[in-house]
């Protein structure tokens, strides 16, 4: 997250003041509305951070998250407002926010709408991720540019993950009419989404040691098929990658997506497969699994998935209802498990087919 300091020429430094983040609207194609930014800029002091607003269930929360409007579960764009913790709650608004001059507003808007500056790599801060997101359509035109962006902000940290995300083109898994190369989730129909690229990168980094050639991987709630294809590329033809999805139409669409991608040969030889099933029950036929990824939030960890996790294996799963944590579960050789929270996240719920297809 990037903080621009300044006070419109008054020479005062802003430190630990309550600063409201500007609200920008995002249309169904993932494009930021500059008109919304201009309206917000006219009301905000100079020392303000603008965060890109997600279009669906996931919101990469900022550090010291204090307040956030509820995001949509079903992929409908929604603006969100966030604030940083105030040093003194008793300070008056006039003391915290001196009225900016017209020139200050003009400078602020000019810098906001200009090309994003090159920022130093932002370190990850558990439980939240520092992700500066003021990219607009066209600023990430190619898949390798998207991966470079994720490298710069610390989501992609290893060559192994960078290579597979460059090889599997995200554009092949995003529905036509949407912008594939921005760091935002996208709706794929049936009240499901393809996760934001930084979440794909995060999960691949967490699971990379359990996605070595010859290993078995399970992707629960495989959706568009993107992450399952990445798993298959990593474990290779001697391994096995299985995607589970309870919406038959999504299974058909994900199969077509993979057939156009670099993972097509693995689908043809059977080392990569998609199945219509309740993901909460796993897929025992290819168990045990070295890696299990769950792409929807469960109220608690499903027991069948724990049973299908191989000793020495790892599961990454969002757990919770409204408040969710991305949990990393490692299964020890004696069958016991260790659990840690990696980040606060926002996913669609892991539920039944009928519940998912209900109108929002």
Active site residues per annotation? 195
Query: How far apart are alpha carbons 74 and 186 in whole angstroms?
Result: 10
Query: How far apart are alpha carbons 17 and 45 in whole angstroms?
Result: 12
Helix (H) or strand (E) holding 72, with range, is none
Cis peptide before 288 (omega within 30 of 0): yes
Tell me 22's DSSP state: B
Contact assessment for residue 229 and residue 169, using Cβ atoms and an 8 Å cutoff: no
CA-angle at 141, arms to 82 and 55, nearest 5°: 30
Burial class (CB in 10 A: 0-12, 13-18, 19+), 238: exposed
As given in the structure block, the two tokens for residue 32 are 């930021």
Q: How far is CA 195 from CA 31, 59, 173, in A?
A: 16, 10, 11
Kindly tell me the number of DSSP H helices and DSSP E strands found in the chain: 11, 9
Contact assessment for residue 22 and residue 108, using Cβ atoms and an 8 Å cutoff: no
Letter string b/e over residues 99-109, b meaning 16 or more CB atoms within 10 A of that residue's CB: ebeeebbebbb
Contact assessment for residue 57 and residue 192, using Cβ atoms and an 8 Å cutoff: no
Query: How far apart are alpha carbons 282 and 311 in whole angstroms?
Result: 16
Q: How far is CA 99 from CA 84, 92, 152, in A?
A: 19, 13, 35
């Amino acid at each position: 997250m990037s903080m621009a300091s300044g006070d419109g020429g008054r020479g005062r430094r802003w430190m630990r003041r309550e600063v409201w983040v500007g609200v920008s609207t995002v249309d169904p194609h993932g494009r930021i509305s500059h008109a919304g930014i201009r309206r917000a800029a006219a009301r905000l002091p100079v020392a303000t951070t603008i965060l890109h607003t997600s279009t669906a269930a996931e919101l990469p929360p900022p550090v010291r998250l204090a307040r956030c409007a509820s995001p949509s579960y079903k992929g409908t764009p929604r603006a969100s407002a966030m604030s940083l913790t105030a040093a003194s709650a008793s300070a008056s608004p006039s003391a915290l926010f001196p009225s900016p001059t017209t020139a200050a507003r003009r400078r602020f808007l000019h810098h906001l709408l200009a090309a994003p500056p090159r920022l130093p790599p932002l370190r990850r801060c558990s439980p939240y991720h520092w992700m500066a997101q003021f990219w607009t359509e066209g600023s990430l035109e190619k898949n390798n540019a998207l991966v470079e962006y994720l490298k710069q902000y610390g989501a992609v940290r290893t060559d192994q993950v960078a290579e597979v995300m460059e090889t599997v083109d995200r554009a092949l898994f995003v529905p036509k009419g949407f912008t594939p190369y921005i760091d935002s989730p996208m709706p794929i129909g049936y009240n499901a989404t393809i996760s934001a690229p930084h979440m794909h990168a995060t999960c691949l980094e967490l699971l990379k040691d359990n996605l070595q050639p010859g290993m078995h991987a399970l992707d629960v709630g495989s959706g568009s098929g993107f992450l399952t294809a990445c798993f298959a590329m990593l474990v290779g033809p001697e391994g096995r990658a299985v995607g589970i999805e309870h919406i038959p139409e999504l299974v058909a669409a994900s199969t077509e997506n993979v057939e156009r991608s670099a993972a097509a040969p693995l689908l043809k030889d059977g080392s990569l497969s998609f199945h219509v099933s309740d993901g909460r029950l796993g897929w025992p036929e290819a168990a045990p699994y070295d890696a299990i990824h769950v792409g929807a939030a469960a109220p608690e960890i499903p027991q069948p998935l724990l049973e299908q996790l191989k000793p020495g294996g790892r599961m990454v799963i969002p757990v919770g209802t409204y408040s969710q944590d991305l949990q990393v579960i490692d299964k020890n050789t004696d069958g016991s498990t260790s659990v840690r929270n990696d980040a606060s996240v926002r996913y669609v719920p892991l539920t039944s087919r009928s519940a998912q297809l209900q109108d929002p």
